[in-house]
Structures are given as C-alpha cells and as structure tokens.
C-alpha cells in the first residue's frame, strides 16, 4: 500500500492517527532518506498518544522515552550505528516489554537492525521525500 502525503502536516497527521489506534506492543520500523519525515511521523504519533512533551529526534542519545501517554512511547534512532553495535544494545527489551512497560516502539533507520525488518512482527514503513515537496509512505 502506498500513501501520498502532501506535506509535513499530512505526515504528522498520519502519525497522530497511528497514535490513536495502535495497541501497546506495536513496533514501527521507519526507513527513509534524511528529511523524509520519520521524526515528523513520530511527533504525530506522540500527539495521538496524548504526550504533551516535545518529541525530538534521538539521533545522539539513541533513545527517548515518553511514559505519560495512553501507552509509553519508545523512540529510537539508529542512524549512527552499525548492526553489530545495535545488537549489543538488546533493544528487544523495549518491544518485548521485558524490563519496561509495554508500549509503542518507533525505530528510525530500522534497516540498521541486525534482524531484517521483514523478520520482525512490526509495521515496516518506508518514507520517500518527493521533489515536489510531498512525501510518500509505503508499507514494506
């Protein structure tokens, strides 16, 4: 399925709708070029979950946790990591709910996971920035 998102607001609105409907335990695997809207989608997701805190990209801290929404949101950004480095972090504790409350996990640059996104039971999305200024998202 391919959705054309006309602008940043449409990308944000898609995230908002997902935040209102996805259950705890959901895993969003976000891929796409720099500037394609991954963080914007997660900001909308936070809005849909009822999170009042500003959501920013965790590129340098790797993980931001937002516990106060309808369910917790765990926002990861793997941009700076290689698959071996990611594997050493045991991130599955977040989507398995082993050591933290079960919530929604949104992973930017999910293609850097050591396990291919197609092997995980999540929602893989690929965002593509188009020259006309719109965005396109497709489920892999």
> Which residue from 53, 47, 64 is spatially nearest to 106, judged by alpha carbons?
64
Whole-model pTM: value is: 0.86
d(CA 65, CA 106): 11
User: 109 and 75 in contact (C-beta within 8 Å)?
Assistant: no
User: 13 and 35 in contact (C-beta within 8 Å)?
Assistant: no
Q: Would you give per-residue pLDDT tens digits along the chain (140 residues)?
A: 677 777 889 889 999 999 999 999 899 988 888 888 899 999 999 999 999 999 999 988 999 999 999 999 999 999 988 888 888 887 888 888 788 999 999 999 988 888 755 555 667 677 665 555 555 554 43
Question: 2-139 belongs to which CATH class?
Answer: alpha beta
Q: Which pLDDT value is given to residue 138?
A: 47
Q: Tokens 């497709």 appear where?
A: 138
């Amino acid at each position: 399925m391919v959705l054309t998102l006309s602008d940043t607001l449409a990308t944000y609105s898609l995230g908002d709708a997902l935040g209102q409907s996805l259950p705890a335990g959901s895993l969003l695997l976000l891929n796409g070029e720099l500037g394609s809207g991954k963080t914007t989608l997660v900001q909308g997701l936070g809005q849909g979950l009822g999170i009042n805190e500003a959501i920013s990209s965790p590129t340098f801290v790797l993980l931001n946790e937002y516990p106060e929404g309808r369910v917790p949101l765990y926002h990861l950004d793997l941009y700076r990591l290689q698959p071996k480095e990611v594997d050493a972090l045991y991130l599955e504790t977040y989507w398995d709910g082993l050591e933290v409350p079960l919530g929604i996990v949104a992973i930017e640059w999910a293609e850097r996971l050591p396990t291919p996104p197609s092997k995980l039971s999540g929602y893989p999305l690929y965002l593509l920035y188009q020259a006309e200024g719109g965005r396109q998202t497709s489920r892999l």
